Amino acid sequence: MAEEHEALTSAFSGLGVDESSLLTVITKWRKQPEKRRGFRSSSPFFKPHGSFERCEDDFVRSLKVEFARFKNVTVLWAMHPWERDARWIHHVLHKAHPFNIIVEIACTRSSDELLGARKAYHALFHHSIEEDVAYRVKENYCSLLVGLVSAYRYEGSRVDEDIAKSEAKALGHAIKNAGTKDPVENYEVIRILTTRSKTHLKETFRHYSGIYGQSIEQDFADESCLGETVRCLGSSASYFSKVIDKAFGEEADKNAKDALTRVVVSRSDVDMEEIKAVYEKQYKAKLEDKIVKNTRGNYRDALLSLVGM
């Protein structure tokens, strides 16, 4: 019986639920209510309540969330990428979720993918993304966010070296003067980060490292809006592998855990190979192994397929 208790506890720990283990135990314990009672008495999911063991509300709530993970993967996987992105953005704006999802979408999608999301947003919500962001974001990074979601960047390889150099200096200047004015409100910073092409920006960041000895990502080591922007634009694979790893952490909150589904589904067809390579280098472990360790059941199998195991 200890074996089954262990199996049950394990089935409910981690992201997703191990449906097949559950089924095995359910089948094994048919017509044996005393086995279930034994489980309830020894499990932290139930607390003694007079003459019976009461099911903890938290347990029920968390079960709802964990069972839904596979459903969420399926729905998101089936949805058009434009609708996915539009709904995520709308969700962030209307449920006050972390802004980094907006930065992620605006900076890691191609110009036409972002445009598609803007089209889908029109159709679904009868407003433009920029109008909702401008209206609902009250923090000082509002201008940066509006610029990021409105961008229709050139996607070619043409780079002007002189401009890249001078803009690297302008960025450096803004960062050095962070005491006087927050760089996220600096119009030059916003102009450079929200209008230049991604190829051009990578070149600009390269010059930055050359001039200042540190990469611009290091100078923004925190998780501010500007820091996330620079990371997404500089090296999106590195950004994504960080987001994925956070989902496995001990202190992962709801948003961090949900991010695992979001990243795996949205990047599966795009740059998952690159993300896996960067993940292994950064965290000295294979992404597939971490998924096997930290997720359960159909959710786990879905993630592994999407990640390309």
Binding status of residue 256 toward other proteins by CB under 8 A: no
Q: Rounding to the nearest 10 degrees, give the CA dihedral for residues 274, 277, 278, 284.
A: 160
User: For residue 164, which of 130, 204, 199 has the smallest C-alpha distance?
Assistant: 204
The Cβ-side half-sphere exposure at 180, using a 13 Å CA radius, reads: 6
Amino acid at 185: E
CA angle, residues 61, 51, 4, in degrees to nearest 5: 55
List Cβ neighbours of 296 (8 Å cut-off, separation of 6 or more).
10, 11, 13, 14, 15, 16, 17, 18, 66
Binding status of residue 158 toward other proteins by CB under 8 A: yes
Using CB atoms within 10 A of its CB, is residue 131 exposed (0-12), middle (13-18) or buried (19+)?
exposed
Binding status of residue 150 toward other proteins by CB under 8 A: yes
153 vs 262, which CB is nearer to other proteins? Answer: 153
Q: Shortest Cβ distance from residue 123 to other proteins (Å)?
A: 9
Residue from 31, 126, 254, 284 touching other proteins (CB under 8 A): that is 126
User: For residue 44, which of 83, 3, 12, 87 has the smallest C-alpha distance?
Assistant: 12
Binding status of residue 128 toward other proteins by CB under 8 A: yes
d(CA 56, CA 44): 8
Could you give the string, one character per residue 191-230, with x where binding to other proteins holds by CB under 8 A and - elsewhere?
A: x--xxxx---------------------------------
Q: Shortest Cβ distance from residue 280 to other proteins (Å)?
A: 35
Binding status of residue 131 toward other proteins by CB under 8 A: yes
Using DSSP, state whether 176 is helix, strand or coil: helix
Binding status of residue 84 toward other proteins by CB under 8 A: no
Binding status of residue 130 toward other proteins by CB under 8 A: yes
Q: Shortest Cβ distance from residue 233 to other proteins (Å)?
A: 14
6 vs 139, which CB is nearer to other proteins? Answer: 139
**Segment interacting with other proteins, rule: CB under 8 A, options 53-61, 135-143, 254-262, 294-302:** 135-143
The residues that touch other proteins, with contacts defined as CB under 8 A, are 115, 118-119, 122, 126-131, 134-135, 142-143, 146-147, 150-156, 158, 187, 191, 194-197
